[in-house]
Amino acid sequence: MDLKIRGNSAIITASSSGLGKAAAAALVKEGVNVVINGREQQKLESALKELKALKGGKVISCQGDITKKEDIKKLVKTAVDNFGRLDHLVTSAGGPPAKSFLETTDADWYNSYDLLVMSVVRLVKESVEFLKADGGGTIVNITSISVKEAIDNLVLSNSVRMTVIGLMKTLSKELAPEIRANAVLPGSHETARIEELINSQLENAEFENYQEALVAMSKSVPLKKIGAPEKLGDLIAFLSSPKSDYINGSSIVVDGGSASSNL
């Protein structure tokens, strides 16, 4: 399916690995020119090489910390200076540390808010005039299934990510019709985080091999499999395209049916 976004331009934060990189790959395959972002230069260069090999849209990198306002400004400027336009934002961020409520400090809460919420606030404010141009654009926020159903020992993610959904819903009304805003709420996906967990289990001799550990991890998922990052990337590309032009203000769960929440 041609999503009709070839030649568009996109920024994807935290895209040197994981779901952010999967979103970048999906957009590049559709012919979108993409700016990827991350804090670690080596990981960023590796992702850049991998994405350029896809032979789709152009890909450039912009190293930076999305909790810093000046780095957000640099990210938007890089996109506009290199591609002459900005059509799509995909916001992603690493998860805050796993802790119980009583283990958290004030600094944990403020740092999580900066990482998950203020990064989106600043990026949207810096980008909005460009997104409105040329017929309008899209925003897709990658959050977590923890928005729908609290996960044990992840009080920071459970609490702070909900703010991103409130922000997204507000933006979907205030910025329409020029800009659509949506969110995806992924459950377990086979990213580096999952691979590290499985490798740790293998070191502890909990399983004989990687596939056995993966199967065990997927037993609680009705579809009996862990999510593939590239499929989430395909959904994000669809939400960034005119094929989804009546989807606005939606939070889409992608967890294989794991959550017990009705809504």
Residue ranges covered by each domain of the chain: 9-189+227-254, 190-225
Tokens 């928005």 locate to 147
Buried b (16+ CB within 10 A) or exposed e, 117-131: bbbbbbbbebbbebb
What pLDDT is stored for residue 74 in this prediction?
A: 98
What integer is the mean pLDDT of 236-253? 98
Q: What is the pLDDT of residues 212-235, one digit of tens each?
A: 988 888 998 999 999 999 999 999
What pLDDT is stored for residue 208 in this prediction?
A: 85
- Read off the pTM: 0.94
Q: What is the pLDDT of residues 30-86, one digit of tens each?
A: 999 999 999 999 999 999 999 999 989 999 999 999 999 999 999 999 999 999 999
Per the prediction, the chain carries an average pLDDT of 95
User: Do residues 142 and 191 lie in contact, with contact meaning Cβ atoms separated by under 8 Å?
Assistant: no
C-alpha dist (Å) from residue 117 to 120, 165, 167: 5, 10, 8
Q: Which CATH number fits domain 9-189+227-254: 3.40.50.720, 3.30.1010.10, 3.70.10.10, 3.40.640.10?
A: 3.40.50.720
